[in-house]
Structure 1
Amino acid sequence: MSETPETVVLLADDGTVIGEAPKATVHTADTPLHLAFSCHVFDPQGRVLVTRRALSKKTWPGVWTNSFCGHPAPGEDTVEAIARRAERELGLALTDVRVALPDFRYRAIDASGVVENEVCPVYTARASDDPRPAADEVAEWAWLDPVELRSAVAAAPFAFSPWLGWQLAAWQGGYTAESTGS
């Protein structure tokens, strides 16, 4: 039995829904604005999960990034989409899912010319287990102290996804499990 192809929600510049399209056809050199989400997962010790994108990923293969990202399906609640992707991508069940940066939006172009163009609210969540990632999604993972993550991104921004750096910069008052509400 094959999986149903993912569909993304297309957006107008003001954020209103204008349609949908297969995910496989959206990420190109002329990617339309679409809805996504980003999630930062914290463990009971307050460390944040970072993942290295699989080398087979279409965009930013092999770079380190936030815990995971995804796209809510048309009509799907974002928190439900986060739970679905956490299980599929990382083998994790999450608790305390909360929006942290509701208005985050970005556009970035990777080295191959593929554009990410997303309205991408950022969430935090908690997990009590280590991830068991899908090989087609994640090459490596690590739990890091949030201060260590900020230092690593500042020292070598090229090793991380651009959206991770922008998200960390957008957090006001620091980036810890407590300050992000997780």
Structure 2
Amino acid sequence: MSQPTEPRTTRPTDQRPTLSRRHALGGVAGVGLGLPLLAACGGDDSSATDPAGGFGDSGGGSPSAAGSEGAEGSGGSSAFASTSDVPVGSGAVFPDEGLVVTQPTEGEFLGFSITCTHQGCPVDSVSDAGISCPCHGSIFDLSSGAPTAGPATSALGSVSLTVDGDEISRA
């Protein structure tokens, strides 16, 4: 007869669980799907820039240049609009210039970037309610470019303008 043997209840210490191919591919797929979702949930902390250079112009206060002198010595800036194109208490979008020009009060012309500070969509209309972005519904103030509604949290970039007679150009 054979002698009874004791059952083994311990594992050898040199054996570690191994990562299976299924678990490795599952982890890679999870990371691959998770990163875009995290990016979509994140906000835009003003990394959008104005392709026309609007964020670089600080203007030091009022970008209004009504009655400004020295427009002829500004390096040959050409007019892109007439003052009659911009209604009082509203404004107009000039997509080719990358600008919105508003006239909050008669004779006060202000320039802003058309690039919405939320996700970089171009604003497309101006009314007495403000400058509107069609992508997510942000509305910006006519006088300051600051957001008044929607998801945007920072103002549109200010762009300095020169008004010479009835012609509007970049300063």
TM-score normalized by the length of structure 2:
0.22
> Which has the bigger relative contact order, CA under 8 A and spacing at least 6?
1
Q: Rg bigger for which structure?
A: 2
TM-score normalized by the length of structure 1:
0.21
Higher strand share: 1
